[in-house]
Structure 1
């Protein structure tokens, strides 16, 4: 690969973008409401990238992303990520989430524990909020403690964690409300 490039491609959830550099994928942009917004976001994140035909390694990444977003089992394990300007802790988080199997979820606390950084739940959440490697670094598989699918990283566009998990066949449970925790009384059954 020579220099930084990007391209836009079709998926089951809309037109996504991918940027790359000499070391691999630099970032994924899930679709915004309109393609022009997706392109604008890519330009803001990677102003030195030029739209071009992707090299073979990036084509393989795109094929894996397309398969994953279609509900298939796209193999993204061998995709090289360009982590040149990414903090060391964030790199550890992104490597850890790549190990979460499709259709499964973890909590921020479980990721922090896996990193042997149990006091770093907030730092894990912050790192995932900055995740440039959507789908390849599946931050949508990491949920808050109640397993409620909260908002996705900045590169998530208009696609929610809930939708991505649904595509993968994961069934996260929703958080209990304070009312459910404090008043676990029997609820009246509807009349037939």
Structure 2
């Protein structure tokens, strides 16, 4: 069959998903205009054709739509097509998929889980290349200074995605089980 894609509505705009016979190839959050999302798709997946999605893709779409509405959704059973993705990145994505909604992790925490505590920079690079937005919730992996999202993220930020999920990075539980407090807002004089 080759690769197929479809554009679908979400609470944040028209998103896109690409699949192959092996599973989901990529998820793309909306650009400012749908035409820009389509251009990105054509640039990355010139051979993909707009088709009716198979069951695995339908499940992914339903879960993505629910998550972007702020609802709980389990995408752990959605099959991903990891052909051509570096083994290290695959391992990063497997761990990232297990970060619960409402929590975040740091690059160093993911590196430690991989058994490579000095590989935080490599984890950051893998997260930046994540083609499976939302299904692999890369927005839940960040550093305190960071707000950017992967190239497939359109114009939405990690903090906005965390907000949609009903969490805030500063309130999120870390790998070590510590809940980070947030300072109350200062009164304006």
Match of 2:158 among 151, 161, 167: 161
Deviation at 1:46, TM superposition (A): 1.1
1:36-185 equivalence runs, <5 A: 36-144=35-143, 146=144, 148-173=145-170
The runs of at least 4 consecutive aligned structure 1 residues that moved more than 6 Å come to none
Contact 2:129/2:150 (8 A) holds in 1: yes
The whole-number CA distance in structure 1 between the counterparts of 2:8 and 2:72 is 18
Question: TM-score normalised to the size of structure 1?
Answer: 0.87
**Equivalent residue, structure 1, for 2:20:** 21
RMSD: 1.5
Query: CA contact under 8 A between 2:31 and 2:37: conserved in structure 1?
Result: yes
Q: How much has 1:74 moved relative to structure 2?
A: 1.7
Q: Verify the 8 A CA contact 2:64 2:134 in the aligned structure 1.
A: yes
Q: Which whole-Å CA distance do the structure 2 matches of 1:48 and 1:103 have between them? A: 37
Normalised to the residue count of structure 2, the TM-score between the two structures is 0.89
SS in 1 for 2:164: helix
Number of aligned pairs?
175
Secondary structure of the structure 2 residue equivalent to 1:106: coil
Unaligned stretches of 5+ residues in structure 2: 172-185
SS of the residue corresponding to residue 58 of structure 1 reads helix
**Which of the pair has more CA radius of gyration?**
1
Gaps (5+ residues) in structure 1? Answer: 175-187
